[in-house]
Structure 1
Amino acid sequence: MDHTQQAMARLTSAGVGCVALTWVDNAGITRVKTVPTARLKDAVRDGVGMSPVFDVYLVDDSMTESPAIGGPDGDLRLVPDLDRLTTLAAQPGWAWAPVDRFQASRAPYPGCQRSFARRQQELASAEFGIELLMGFETEWVVDAGARGSGPAYGMARVVALSDYLREVTEALGAQGLVPLQVHPEYAVGQFEVSVAATGPVAAADLAVLVRETVRGVSARHGLPVSFAPMAVAEGLEGLGNGRHLHLSPWRDGKNLCRGGDGPFSMTGECEAFLAGVFRELPALLALGAPSPASYLRLRPSRWAGAHHCWGLENREAALRFVAGSPDDLGGANAEVKSFDGAANPYLVVGGVIAAGLAGLREGLTLPPPVSGDPAGRPGLRRLPTELPAAIGQLADSAVLREAMGEELLGAVLAVRRAEVELFASTTPEELVEATRDRY
């Protein structure tokens, strides 16, 4: 019995009748085709058809065009990755797998974001012998009618939704994930879950799986949820939903974030990698904070990472270095705080790795770290405060242009520019309403 037949037998014995095959488009929307379990072997062998036009879909399901991708012509094949095949605990009778997208000839498709992330992961290993561990934090807001009140990070909020939060944790564990913590966040009705770090492509896969698991449990409890950068329009006073990225470079089982003579004991290679990420942060915002609504969240003094600075355990810095406890060799890592839930996680991990590899190639070093709130500090710059500025930085980034290729970069830029135009005449409140339930 081959790998596919074994997977089908396992699903059938678990009562799984359908498999959801997902990818994430350039607007940050998780799109799907589903197949009956009995058709999974055909899907692996032949792929499942899907138009490439989805690479230029906007958040409202309208379409734009790019120089190389878009229009009604052509067909792609969605090929499920059975190594990530997961029986869904919150959707009885269903399983899930991410897909790689190929041209009809089975040639690589240059617009495939998951393949882009994999290429960068493989480059890190081949060129520098570095393996990266990554993990996303997922934040969401429960519908106002059910979220209750109580203090930020308070136990009262856990008590109010204790069955719900327990089932989120149990569903993640039943799917083979390792939930590290689930807790109430700052805004009313806001929660966060983090899972154990893994390889970059797997981390992006898990970002999708965690979100859909939370969505599934929420639906079973009758709780509408939002993962959007801003979920509450009233007064725009609440904090938005981030999706922070944690990362650490490793070689031969050694965490390069410690044991060196660089800042806070990071090795020179770790510093160079992080310096490359730091340099490209303004451009990376167009990947990690990709919606006009992202910039309603990205404000100073809100722990959102609005300033272009880094620091030790500084939650206001865009790049936060976590030294970890002395007896936890794997605990040291870096966190990019500026990213949010509108982002395609495959674009994020691929872009961050590409930036870090450029830092290694050039032997970059970090500027002096910043402590305390950087708001109002002379000489400290804000990251782009609006999406058009981030788009300009991405378009001008030679590092990301080379890594992404003209086809993928062109489609991303086209979607970003079209969404700027789409929401050009909306008020902030209208923008929140228009995007709140899309992600």
Structure 2
Amino acid sequence: MSSSPSHAQLLKALSLPTSTKWIVIYYVPYSNDTSYRVIPISQFLSSLSVPSSSNPPPSTEQHVIDITKIKGGKLAINPVAFYLVEGLYNPPEAGIGPRGEIWLVPDLMSVRGWNPLGLRKRGEELVNEGAYASVFGWFEDKGISNNGERRANVNCARGVLDRIVRTAKEELGIQFLAGFETEFILTLSSSETSPTGAPLPVNPYGWNESKAARSGTLELAVMEEICECLLKMGVEVLYWHAEAAPGQFEIVTAPLRPVQAVDCVVMTREVMYDVAQRYGLRATLAPRVFDSAPGSAAHVHISLSPTPSSPLPSSLTLPTPSNPYSLSSLEASFLQGILDHLPASCAFTLGAPQSYERVKDGIWSGGTWVCWGRDNKECPVRLCGSPPRPSNPSSFQPSSGTSGSSSTATTTATTTYEDGGDGGTINVTGAAGAGGGGWNLEVKCSDGTGNPYLALASLLASGILGIKSLLSSQSSSTSSQSLSINPSSPSSSSSTAAPSPPSSQLMEESLGQASSLPETTRQKMGIVQKLPTSFSEALKALEEDRELGGMLGEELVRSYAAVTRFRAERLEKLSLNELVDRF
């Protein structure tokens, strides 16, 4: 049985102020158009319940209810929520009609007491004037599964990422942290354009220039308020700076567990848009606004480590001298999986036709060849950080807890993120300050046009496939051998053949870019596969990659392809100024 505790008890359990008036439930459909529903807080609290055994008696009003015991709050919604493009258009190929309902269920571990809708500046103080709270939602099918549990909807992007993370933990004993860089351009309003109709940047300055955000400027006020809003919402900002394009800035947020990290990215973007609009500006994630300047990316950093109870032998998790940079076999196989499936992952990480204006050689955006490097920005995958110290052999060590938690104080690892410039590093130490050093992988062929939950899910799923390939080859081998980073296609990534030399697909910084090498040299290095040069090529690669499709879900891949093809057709018809508005 369950009962309804008082609203005061529920607010306390959810860490919400008593002044809260509204709660906003967020979700992100395939089209990456962040969506929400706003509910009066009294209505929301009235829909929640707690099992009687967990509900404190009336005489203990101050007792805090265990948030994990609270149930309810779900909303019925048509499944078209996954498929809509621009909130209006339902692609016919998706096959979704007016019938049917699913549940939008709030993930109460993601509740935040602040929301960009209500944030206002009053003098020097930032206040939550609208008294809004926020929460992210999951999608569940109506009905109960055979084991009595709710059924997660296979098309829920946030749910797919959570499933991938849980699969890695439960089947392989590995866990992840992820961190994002958000690059965007501030322009004048859509009505203020050049004589040719092109958007006008808020300033003409470049990478790290102090002129880009002088004291008293609109740019500095916007960046200060964005970061202050994020900090109020519990999103940890590591740093921000002017980027290389006119009016371009970058915000780097702290590494967190994957679902939580993407939640923070979504909130970062929402705050970015809202604050810029309040100052009469536009913030855009459009991939390439100016032909003569770099584009805007959403680089993602990923690292993995064994769980405390992992069944993996230490021979796989400790540094392996025979591997490049002494990567552990676990890290090397994860990297190999990402490389094998990178063309297919681009359908998620580079989610629009305009994204491929960044897939070019010589513009420091990762180049066009599938390869990796240590300090080489012409590689789509870059090894960042430093070798782990003996006392901390794992790159990242996420703390235990649910992946949707909004607390940033639970990160226990020391992680290293590289600045985009001269190779200086910032060591980010969490509350427990455990150990030091460690590698993380930066995926550069990623921007803000695609669904970030699916983008990260595809990269993690690819890496998991690489690890499974390693374990499969080891189980069928009678001798122990370290894993080398070797080239292979998705169809052959589970092969048990002997690995090729450790330098395969590795572009040392001294070699420049892969495109400038003779073809015979690239082939000897194992650099034989190119990234897609269009969104249609990326979708084709995704649909042909049965291994990755099997990890993500065949129905999801089919539906995603139908929706994003339709979206791409619409995006290709927009002017540059309209694209800046769209993204």
Regarding TM over 0.5, the answer is yes
Number of residue-to-residue matches in the alignment: 431
Is the alpha carbon distance of 1:434 and 1:219 closer, same or farther for their aligned partners in structure 2, counting shifts above 3 Å? closer
Within the alignment, does 1:410 sit opposite 2:558 as a pair?
yes
Structure richer in helix, relative to its length: 1
> Residue 241 of structure 1 is aligned with which of 280, 296, 314?
296
Contact conserved, 2:22 with 2:133, CA < 8 A, in 1? yes
- Aligned partner of 2:396 in structure 1 is none
Amino acid at match of 1:208: V
> Residue 234 of structure 2 is aligned with which of 172, 176, 192?
176
> Residue 120 of structure 1 is aligned with which of 151, 161, 164?
164
- In structure 2, distance between residues paired with 1:258 and 1:290: 36
- In structure 2, distance between residues paired with 1:7 and 1:215: 31
Q: Which segment is superposed worse, 40-49 or 24-33?
A: 40-49
Is the alpha carbon distance of 1:61 and 1:186 closer, same or farther for their aligned partners in structure 2, counting shifts above 3 Å? farther
Matched position secondary structure for 1:167: helix
Residues 248-294 of structure 1: per-residue CA shift (max 9 Å, x gap): 01124799997332211210110001110111000000011011111
Is the alpha carbon distance of 1:421 and 1:215 closer, same or farther for their aligned partners in structure 2, counting shifts above 3 Å? closer
Q: Which has the larger radius of gyration?
A: 2
> Residue 260 of structure 1 is aligned with which of 296, 311, 320?
320
- Aligned partner of 1:399 in structure 2 is 547
- In structure 2, distance between residues paired with 1:146 and 1:422: 25
> Residue 154 of structure 1 is aligned with which of 200, 209, 228?
209
Matched position secondary structure for 1:191: strand
Matched position secondary structure for 1:70: coil
- Aligned partner of 2:580 in structure 1 is 436
Contact conserved, 1:146 with 1:223, CA < 8 A, in 2? no
Within the alignment, does 1:30 sit opposite 2:170 as a pair?
no
Contact conserved, 2:16 with 2:112, CA < 8 A, in 1? no
Matched position secondary structure for 1:361: helix
- In structure 2, distance between residues paired with 1:52 and 1:227: 27
Matched position secondary structure for 2:353: coil
Matched position secondary structure for 1:95: strand
- In structure 1, distance between residues paired with 2:213 and 2:438: 27
Amino acid at match of 1:322: C
Contact conserved, 1:48 with 1:78, CA < 8 A, in 2? yes
- In structure 2, distance between residues paired with 1:338 and 1:4: 46
> Residue 89 of structure 2 is aligned with which of 44, 52, 62?
62
Residues 372-428 of structure 1: per-residue CA shift (max 9 Å, x gap): 22333333553110111111100011122111222211111101222343356x4xx
Matched position secondary structure for 1:369: coil
Contact conserved, 1:287 with 1:347, CA < 8 A, in 2? yes
- In structure 1, distance between residues paired with 2:157 and 2:77: 15
Is the alpha carbon distance of 1:164 and 1:396 closer, same or farther for their aligned partners in structure 2, counting shifts above 3 Å? same
Contact conserved, 2:8 with 2:18, CA < 8 A, in 1? no
- In structure 1, distance between residues paired with 2:351 and 2:221: 34
Amino acid at match of 2:320: G
Amino acid at match of 1:49: A
Q: Which segment is superposed worse, 53-62 or 289-298?
A: 53-62
Q: Where does structure 1 lack aligned partners over 5 or more consecutive residues?
A: none
Identity %: 27
- In structure 2, distance between residues paired with 1:3 and 1:270: 49
Contact conserved, 1:172 with 1:179, CA < 8 A, in 2? yes
- Aligned partner of 1:50 in structure 2 is 77
Alpha-carbon shift at residue 2 of structure 1 (Å)? 6.2
- In structure 2, distance between residues paired with 1:331 and 1:168: 30
Contact conserved, 2:180 with 2:253, CA < 8 A, in 1? yes
Residues 180-211 of structure 1: per-residue CA shift (max 9 Å, x gap): 11111110111111111111111111111111
Contact conserved, 2:571 with 2:579, CA < 8 A, in 1? no
Name the structure, 1 or 2, with higher relative contact order (CA <8 Å, separation 6+). Answer: 1
* RMSD value, Cα: 2.6
> Residue 361 of structure 1 is aligned with which of 449, 456, 468?
468
1:137-216 equivalent positions in 2, closer than 5 A: 137-144=181-188, 147-159=202-214, 160=217, 161-216=219-274
Q: Where does structure 2 lack aligned partners over 5 or more consecutive residues?
A: 49-70, 119-127, 144-149, 189-199, 390-413, 415-435, 471-482, 486-503
- Aligned partner of 2:386 in structure 1 is 324
- In structure 2, distance between residues paired with 1:182 and 1:375: 32
Matched position secondary structure for 1:317: coil
Residues 319-376 of structure 1: per-residue CA shift (max 9 Å, x gap): 0001337776345200000011011111012111111111001127423411322333
